[in-house]
Amino acid sequence: MKHKYLPGCVSGDIVTAVAMTEPGAGSDLAGMTTSAVEQGDDVVIDGSKTFISNGLNSDLVVVAAKDPAVENPHQAISLYVVESETPGFTRGRHLEKMGMWSQDTAELFFSKCRIPVKNRLGDKGMGFLMLVQKLQQERLVCAIMGVTVAERILEWVTDYCRQTAISVSGKPMSKSQAVQFALVEMTTEVKIGRTFVEKLIAEHMEKKDVIIETSMAKYWTTPNQLK
């Protein structure tokens, strides 16, 4: 599969997506219901996914699905590569978002979608662990984006307050004590976020397990863009 797909992924000829979030389970991997049943040399996938980035434009989808015969949900999930033209694989509506419009988000449906068993990524039942390991990096990237966007917004707001006069006094808004309080509060939160994220970047590069901390960083930094 590496020889078949990776050259196109690198050149940009193949757009990929990862399908794990479901309508009834959200991002709770253990709660997913999409099934993958082996039948000889094939695997039959049934279920649906939602909020899938690149869902409409993807040529190749990595689908997380569960073996219904395995009781332990953490050991039942495997990852499968599904090509866009595979029978039984259809795409739903384009979901509207507040931002990041250049990356489409969509619903995906699988109805008796049959693929070769050799399209399974890694060992059977290791999908949960594989996803969790990569979610650390994904959440860290989200936190980095949150910090940089918040810094840019803060820079823009500060410049605006320096250049815009208060109608009553004629002085710049930045001379107002109330405005200064707000700017200092926002600056403090943004700097705390950057310090935390930079620490996590270093620990991630050292291959430390910081999955909890990256989740905390994503929680802290992304709302700062809206304050």
Q: Scanning the structure block, which residue is given the tokens 């989740």?
A: 215
pLDDT of 18-74, one tens digit each? 999 999 887 788 889 999 999 999 999 999 999 999 999 999 999 999 999 999 989
Q: Is 223 helix (H, G, I), strand (E, B) or coil?
A: helix
Q: Looking at residue 114, what is its pLDDT?
A: 97
Instruction: Classify strands 16-19 and 60-66 as parallel, antiparallel or unpaired.
Output: parallel
% the chain with pLDDT above 70 = 99
Q: Looking at residue 201, what is its pLDDT?
A: 97
Catalytic residues: 138
List of the chain residues with pLDDT < 50: none
Domain 2-124 has CATH 2.40.340.10: no
Residue 73: C-alpha distances to residues 29, 37, 55, 101 (Å): 8, 15, 25, 34
Q: Looking at residue 134, what is its pLDDT?
A: 86
Distance (Å, whole) CA 21 – CA 52 = 7
Distance (Å, whole) CA 7 – CA 5 = 6
Q: What ranges do the domains of the chain cover?
A: 2-124, 130-225
In DSSP terms, 17 is beta-bridged to 61
- From 89, 68, 91, 65, select the one nearest 79 (Cα to Cα): 65
Domain 130-225 has CATH 3.40.50.720: no
